[in-house]
Amino acid sequence: MTKPAPNEDGRDLRSFGRRRGRKISARQQALMDEVLPRLAIDPAISPPEPLARLFGNEATIDDVWLEIGFGGAEHLIWQAEHNPHVGIIGCEPFEEGVVKALTAIEEQQLANVRIYADDARTILRWLPPASIARAFVLFPDPWPKRKHAKRRLINPATVDLLARVIRPGGELRIGTDIGDYVRTLLIALAGHPAFTWQATCPDDWRIRPADWPQTRYEQKALREGRRGYFFRFIRRRD
């Protein structure tokens, strides 16, 4: 399959919708002004070696995970709480989602989260090779209209970027509630030489794993009569 063409200026096609919704409150703006700069990743600065230094004392961090498009941050925060020895990079361009993450990080005093409030593909190019132990892409924008399908985040080009940064034996998790997106991601991943689909029966992709908490987007899908699909791929070692 050919890779989606970038814009004429060479930039990636935008894979997400709006950046802002309703106006945020003064308290939320303070989080953006005061807390985000402490946690934000600057891709203009080379990543530290080892990458765990991104989170301060690397002696307390065993692995680094990446969540692309964390939305309301439910999954991001749950993983940070339940895996204190894992550093988690969260990417989300939508302002309200970033505010939700910052609010929870401050309230729960989480030290193992860093934020990039923009297109995750910039971070995928910034990260060192084989530096991520687990990556999550949960309920990405489905772009349901055929003319917009080229904007879907999961495509061969993005999968190549993920293959570069996920270490051998590492895991990629993708969730969606859109049947046609299942086809898109399987085309991009099932035949990719770097990944092996971890499924031996339908329940392996129809039932959400216990360490994969439900997000508000999945809850919305269920209310609207759609089911979730939960895919796990392992980065091959050879």
Residue 2 pLDDT class (50, 70, 90 cuts): very low
Mean pLDDT of 58-83: 94
The residue count of the chain comes to 238
Ranges of each domain in the chain: 26-235
CA 189 to chain centre: 16
d(CA 179, CA 225): 13
Through-space distance between the first and last CA atoms of the chain, rounded to whole angstroms: 23
pLDDT value at residue 11: 60
12 assigned to active site: no
Taking Cα atoms as reference points, which of 211, 200, 201 lies closest to residue 173?
211
CATH code, residues 26-235? 3.40.50.150
Number of Cβ within a 10 Å radius of residue 128: 16
Tens of pLDDT, residue by residue over 106-133, are 999 999 999 999 999 999 999 999 999 9
Count of alpha carbons within 13 angstroms of residue 79, beta-carbon side: 26
Lowest mean pLDDT among 21-25, 62-66, 128-132, 219-223: 21-25
pLDDT value at residue 5: 40
Tens of pLDDT, residue by residue over 127-164, are 999 999 999 999 888 756 565 457 688 888 999 999 99
Query: Which of the following is catalytic: 141, 160, 211, 238?
Result: 141
Calculate ∠ Cα 159-161-167, nearest 5°.
Answer: 95
pLDDT value at residue 203: 93
What is the token pair recorded at 49? 């070696």
